[in-house]
């Protein structure tokens, strides 16, 4: 794990991915995909901090639970840019509906 942390571009890449995930959740655009990617990152952060100095239930685990609950409750289905795009353009494509999270 220390090898990955020593790579020069990992830190900026994580910051950019976190920014994109945050914007997708705030705007309601690609909400489900943003939640799934965010949950995956929280799993990596949780196990990357394997010293367990903060205990088993730390902030990474809480964010993981929050993001998984967004996925399971179909967040973004009612009031989001995802649903607005589907309603305005009357999109019936099943693949695009899955990508948008509906």
69-96 pLDDT, tens digit per residue, is 988 887 877 888 888 877 777 767 777 7
Task: Report d(CA 57, CA 86) in Å as an integer.
Answer: 38
pLDDT of residue 67: 93
3-state SS, 12-73, equals: HHHHHHHHHHHHHHHHCCCHHHHHHHHHHHHHHHHHHCCCCCCCCCCHHHHHHHHHHHHHHC
Whole-structure pTM value: 0.79
11-63 pLDDT, tens digit per residue, is 888 899 999 999 999 998 888 889 999 999 999 888 887 777 777 888 888 99
């Amino acid at each position: 794990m220390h090898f990955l942390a020593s790579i020069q571009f990992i830190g900026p890449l994580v910051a950019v991915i976190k920014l994109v995930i945050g914007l997708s959740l705030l705007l309601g655009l690609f909400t489900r995909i943003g939640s799934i990617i965010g949950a995956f990152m929280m799993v990596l952060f949780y196990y990357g901090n394997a010293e367990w100095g903060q205990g088993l239930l730390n902030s990474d685990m809480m964010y993981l639970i929050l993001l998984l609950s967004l996925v399971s409750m179909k967040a973004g289905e009612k009031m989001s840019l995802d649903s607005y795009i589907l309603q305005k353009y009357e999109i019936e494509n099943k693949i695009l509906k899955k990508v948008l999270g509906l």
